[in-house]
Amino acid sequence: MELKTWKPLIMNIILMIIFTLIVVTVNLKMSIMEIDLNYFILPMFCAILFGCVITYLFMKRIRYLEKRVNEKTKELKYHTSMDELTNTYNRKMGLKMLKNHFDLSRRHKNNLSVCLIDLNGLKFVNEKFGRPKGDELIRNVSEMLRSSIRESDMISRMGGDEFLTVLPECDTAGARIVMRRLRDKIKAYNEDSQKNYSASINFGISESSYSDNKTVEYLLLEADNKRYVINKRKKEISHEKPHVPKKNKDNVLIFKLWVIVL
């Protein structure tokens, strides 16, 4: 039982003892009274004892309700700040945490790196194999991302297949090492998996130092632009077709006529 529950009970017991001592003292000094005060002490003692028990039960109920309220408050905070699918921060909380890390990096004159990560092929997996498989892919990649960073780093699911990773006290070279580590884990995942699809990512990195004039908005925009450029290059390479020269129909026709004449 906690101290807050015992407090009213102890106060009632003390008051009961004080009252009993007063009545006994009065009884000893006023021996000329015809009424025996002992008949008065016993009912008052029982009344105060009953009050103590009621107070204890009431305070116990109050503590139980306070505990439930705290649990519900924590649950509400979790749902308003976390992404339930990946158990990472949601977009709103992720941007708030980014601002906090950015302010701390400026205050302590440290570097800060931001990574925007795209999970490729999620739409294909959802349409071909169903949304549960797509959710499974998101969870697996988020777990691999979590195991690739430090405890001081932050992950946020910005929505759909997009993740934000904040790396305090880390420059661009360090962020690339983290992304390389993540890609190695994804490669091993694809090799070990028996699924009919594979996971892959695109990312953009932006770095801030205490000496530049970058803002949080600029960091996100820069990382997004770099991610877009990398994604565009990959699409151009993957969809590029070898150039095949067109046949000249006129030259073919002249050649056939020349053969006939001969």
Which residue would you say has higher pLDDT here, 216 or 13? 216
pLDDT over 60 at 97, yes or no: yes
pLDDT score, position 252: 42
pLDDT score, position 177: 95
In this prediction, residue 100 has a pLDDT band, given cuts at 50, 70 and 90, of very high
pLDDT score, position 46: 67
What does DSSP assign to residue 246? P
Query: What average pLDDT is seen over the chain?
Result: 78
Which residue would you say has higher pLDDT here, 55 or 85? 85
Average pLDDT of the residues in 40-62:
70
pLDDT over 80 at 72, yes or no: no
Closest to 143 measured CA to CA, from 113, 188, 102: 188
* pTM above threshold 0.85: no
Average pLDDT of the residues in 206-219:
90
pLDDT over 60 at 256, yes or no: no
Measure Cα distances from 55 to 4, 12, 64 in Å: 12, 9, 14
- Sort strands 88-89 and 82-83 into parallel, antiparallel or unpaired: antiparallel
pLDDT digits (tens, 9 = 90+) for 217-255: 999 999 999 988 877 766 544 433 334 444 444 444 444
Which residue would you say has higher pLDDT here, 157 or 39? 157
For residue 196, give every residue at least 6 positions away whose Cβ sits within 8 Å of its Cβ, in sequence order, or none: 128, 129
Measure Cα distances from 155 to 32, 93, 158 in Å: 84, 10, 9
pLDDT score, position 34: 46
DSSP assignments along 8-52, one per residue: HHHHHHHHHHHHHHHHHHHHHH-TT-SS-THHHHHHHHHHHHHHH
pLDDT score, position 59: 76
Average pLDDT of the residues in 162-172:
94
pLDDT score, position 41: 61
